[in-house]
Chain A
Amino acid sequence: MAADQLRDAPSRAEIDRATLRDIYTRTMKVNRTDEKFRALLMEGKVAVMYYCVRGQELVSAAAMTALTDDDYVVCTYRGQGEQTAKGIPAEKWWAECLGKVTGTCKGKGGTMHITYPEKGIMVTTGVVGSGLPIANGLAMASQNNGDGRVTMVSFGDGAANIGGFHEAMNMAALYQLPIVFLCQNNRYGEHTAFADHTASPSIADRAAGYGMRSIHVDGNDVHQMYNAAKLAVDRARAGEGPTLIEAMCYRMMGHFFGADFSYMPPEHLAEMKAEDPLPKLRAVMLDRQFTEAELDDIVAQIDAEIDTAVARALAADFPDPHELKVDVFEEEMP
Chain B
Amino acid sequence: MTGKPPQITMVQALNQAIDEAMAEDDGVFCLGEDVAAKQGGGVFKVTSGLTEKYGTHRIRATPISETAIVGAAVGAALAGQRPIAEIMLMNFVGVCMDQIVNHAAKLRFMSGGQTNVPLVIRTTTGVGVGFGGQHSDMLEAWFAHVAGIRVVTPSNAADAKGLMRSAIDSNDPVIFIENILCYGLKSDDPGPGYRVPLGEAAIAREGSDVSLITYGRTVLDALAIADEMASVGISVEVVDLRTIAPYDEETVLASVRKTGRAITLHEAVRPYGTGAEMAATIHEKLWGKLKAPVLRIGGTFSPVPFVAALEQAWIPTKPEIVAAIRSSMENG
Contacts and interface: CB of A to CB of B under 8 A. Distances in A.
Nearest to B116: A330
A132 B68 CA distance: 8
B241 to A, nearest CB: 17
Contacts of A175: 60
B75 A104 contact: no
Interface residues of B, number: 45
Interface string A125-167: 1110010111111111111110000010000000000011001
B108 A137 contact: no
B174 to A, nearest CB: 11
A302 B62 CA distance: 46
Contact of A134 (B71, B108, B150, B170): B71
B218 interface: no
Nearest to A110: B110
B280 interface: no
Contact of B71 (A103, A108, A109, A164): A164
A133 B68 contact: yes
A164 B111 contact: no
Contacts of B210: none
A124 to B, nearest CB: 9
Contacts of B150: 329
B216 to A, nearest CB: 22
A227 B45 CA distance: 47
A175 B114 CA distance: 28
A171 B57 contact: no
Contacts, number: 154
B271 interface: no
B109 interface: yes
A173 to B, nearest CB: 10
Contacts of B115: 115, 117, 122-123
Given A115-B110, A133-B99, A170-B68, A141 B80 contact: yes
A137 B111 contact: no
B111 A105 contact: yes
A196 interface: no
Contacts of B116: 330
Interface in B76-95: 76-81, 83
B63 interface: yes
Given A144-B29, A330-B172, A122 B71 contact: no
B68 A171 contact: yes
B73 interface: yes
A115 B114 contact: yes
A249 B80 CA distance: 35
A125 B104 CA distance: 12
Contacts of A108: 109-112
A144 B81 contact: yes
Contacts of B148: 328-329
Interface string A85-119: 00000000000000000011111110001011100
Contact of B75 (A105, A113, A137, A145): A137
B296 interface: no
Contacts of B67: 133, 163-164, 167-168
Nearest to A177: B72
A8 B73 CA distance: 30
Interface of B: 26-27, 29, 57-58, 60, 62-63, 65, 67-68, 70-81, 83, 98-99, 102-103, 107-116, 147-148, 150, 170-172, 246
Given A72-B79, A138-B75, 17 more contacts: A115-B107, A115-B110, A123-B75, A123-B115, A125-B102, A132-B71, A133-B67, A134-B72, A134-B74, A134-B75, A136-B72, A140-B60, A143-B57, A167-B63, A171-B62, A327-B109, A328-B148
The 4 closest A-B pairs by CB, nearest first: A137-B75, A133-B71, A141-B79, A105-B112
23 contacts: A74-B75, A105-B110, A108-B111, A122-B78, A134-B72, A136-B72, A137-B78, A138-B79, A141-B80, A142-B79, A144-B57, A144-B58, A144-B81, A145-B27, A164-B99, A168-B71, A174-B63, A175-B60, A327-B111, A327-B112, A327-B113, A328-B147, A329-B148
